[in-house]
Amino acid sequence: MKGVDFTEKVAKEVSVLIPKLIVGIKKSFFEIEELTNRQIIILLFVYENKRANISDIANNFLVSLPTITGIVDRLVKKGYLERIHDEVDRRVVYVALNDKGRNFVNKFLVTVKKRWHKILTFLNLKEQAFYLKILKKIIKALDEARDEE
């Protein structure tokens, strides 16, 4: 089988498997009644970046400013985020996790780690290392493809 034919076959199978993976991940990791998937992902983004402005969040997730503003407003209202004005330019507003937000994210990450640990036990150590290597390569390729757009 030629490389192009094999790549086509793998692409076809992956296009069927990835949606199943996404549904499985959503069921396993995002079953939190108080917050939506988007809200959790935004909290994780803010956690990773320490603080972020609305434009950065909107650009990162390719979502409109009004949509992100609404999500952030709800997270502030629920007590997970706080708005912080820039010390130099008071017109610039950042959002950052407050104590409730940090506690939620830390608890969420521990839960995710435990669930991934359980899932990874279905693979041997060599497969686990290979999975991690491939996952990092795919994420890098996705980032590069996005940067080219």
Q: Where along the chain do its domains lie?
A: 1-31, 32-148
Q: How many CB atoms lie within 10 A of CB 21?
A: 10
CA distance 83 to 94: 6
Lowest mean per-residue pLDDT among 9-18, 48-57, 114-123: 9-18
Confidence of residue 11 (pLDDT cuts 50, 70, 90): confident
Mean pLDDT across the chain, nearest whole number? 88
CA distance 107 to 66: 29
pLDDT for res 3 = 66
Confidence of residue 31 (pLDDT cuts 50, 70, 90): low
Model confidence over 55-103: pLDDT tens digits?
Answer: 999 999 989 999 999 999 999 999 999 999 888 888 888 999 999 999 9
Pick the CATH number of 32-148 from 1.10.238.10, 3.40.50.300, 1.10.10.10, 3.30.450.20: 1.10.10.10
User: Which one has a higher pLDDT value, 4 or 139?
Assistant: 139
CA distance 144 to 45: 19
Using the predicted structure, report yes or no on whether residue 36 has a pLDDT greater than 80: yes
